[in-house]
């Protein structure tokens, strides 16, 4: 790992409260590349539901994102668009 592998991720710590957290990425594999994203966004739909803590417990598994870390209602790193 190198300093170039330091990333920042947005975590919902609790409903209505988020935090940018530093995280270390692993080096890409032989058939992979690393891309640096400059900007991202939060959707008005599902990501806003997660931020506000409005995901019904009955939908926790259905709403789980492919690269999600943590669990609803938080702390959770949620998002479905990886750049």
What is the pLDDT tens value at each position of the chain, 83 positions in all?
456 788 888 999 999 999 999 999 999 999 999 888 888 888 889 999 999 999 999 999 999 998 899 999 999 999 876 65
Q: 57 is written with which tokens?
A: 């417990």
Query: CA nearest 12: which of 48, 38, 41?
Result: 48
Asked if 70 contacts 33 with a C-beta cutoff of 8 angstroms, the reply is no
pTM confidence score: 0.81
22: enclosing H helix or E strand = strand 17-24
pLDDT of residue 82: 62
């Amino acid at each position: 790992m190198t300093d170039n592998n330091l990333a920042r991720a947005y975590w919902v710590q609790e409903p209505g409260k988020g935090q940018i957290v530093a995280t270390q990425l692993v080096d890409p594999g032989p058939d992979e590349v690393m891309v640096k994203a400059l900007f991202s966004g939060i959707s008005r739909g599902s990501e806003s539901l997660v931020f506000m803590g409005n995901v019904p417990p009955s939908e926790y598994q259905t709403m789980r994102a492919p690269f999600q870390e943590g669990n609803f209602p938080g702390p959770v790193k949620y998002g479905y668009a990886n750049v």
